[in-house]
Amino acid sequence: MLSGLYVFKTDDYDSSPFDHAISSIQVFQGKIVQQMVIHYKLAHGGEPDSYVKIRLIKDEVEFDVFFSRINLIHHALGQDVTINWHLINSNPEMPGVFYTDANAYKIIKRDLNKPKDYKWNIPANQVKQVASYFYPINSGIFIEDTMNEQMIVMNDRPQGGTSFVLGRIELMVNRVGVTSDQLGVWEGINDYSFDGKGINVTAKFVLAFTSHR
């Protein structure tokens, strides 16, 4: 089964750095807020520069992200774009264990190491397993270390998210696919903006560290 309008599937075993380079960094220092703006230029050019605004406000870090449209000329088979936060100098609980919100109702522990409820030994379930690691994230996802301290990422809209790599949180920000997953309408996923091209994505995330749930 291929990626499509309903289902995210990938042949990759892990995410890889996007094909861009840092073009400039601006730093602003205020009495209340400190901000860093990092501009990225796409390797193939032709699209607006992407950027990340990072603001330190008290004990939280706010990320304003602008990600320019995916160029199908250079990614003819489509692309799934994620943003990643990696925890260093800590001892995370264990790989594949993370926590997600259930629509602000409660926190659910996700353990990718648990035995599967489906028949994993059939050929269809032995490939493209990365997609099965993603869960719906309505407002937040966090990982915990052995000292019960958490790294939390809060998002501004429902997204797919995971933490299948030790100490790393990953959230999906954009998808473009040209194939059908054969689960409904016979089409891929490719949103267009007013100019007839792919969409530019703006998103906001808040990163926090805490020892209290």
pLDDT band at 1 (very low <50, low <70, confident <90, very high): very low
CA distance 5 to 9: 11
Does 8 reside within a domain? no
Residue 205 belongs to domain with CATH number: 2.70.98.30
Residue 11 lies in a domain: no
8-11 long-range contacts (CB < 8 A, ≥24 apart) are 8/80, 8/131, 8/134, 8/160, 8/172, 8/175, 9/128, 9/131, 9/181, 10/80, 10/128, 10/130, 10/131, 11/127, 11/128
Mean pLDDT of the residues in the chain: 81
Whether residue 58 is contained in a domain is answered as yes
- 80-89, 163-172, 199-208: lowest mean pLDDT where? 80-89
User: Is 12 part of any domain?
Assistant: no
Would residue 51 count as lying in a domain?
yes
- Name, in order, each residue with C-beta under 8 angstroms of 84's C-beta and a sequence gap of 6 or more: 15, 168, 169, 170
Domain of residue 193 covers 20-210
At residue 79, the pLDDT reads: 80
- Cα–Cα distance for residue pair 27/19, rounded to 1 Å: 24
Cα 162 to Cα 182: distance, rounded to the nearest angstrom: 25
Type of residue numbered 190: N
pLDDT digit string, tens, across residues 166-197:
889 999 998 887 777 667 777 777 777 887 77
Q: Coil, strand or helix: which one is 122?
A: coil
* 175 within domain boundaries: yes
Q: Which residue has the higher pLDDT, 13 or 140?
A: 140
Residue 13 within any structural domain of the chain: no
Q: How far apart are CA 17 and CA 8, in angstroms?
A: 19
* Residue 2, in any domain of the structure: no
Bridge partners of 41?
A: 21
Position 95 confidence tier, pLDDT thresholds 50, 70, 90: confident
Report the pLDDT value the prediction gives residue 203, as an integer from 0 to 100: 93
Structurally, the chain folds into a number of domains equal to: 1
What are the pLDDT digits (tens) for 27-36? 998 888 889 9
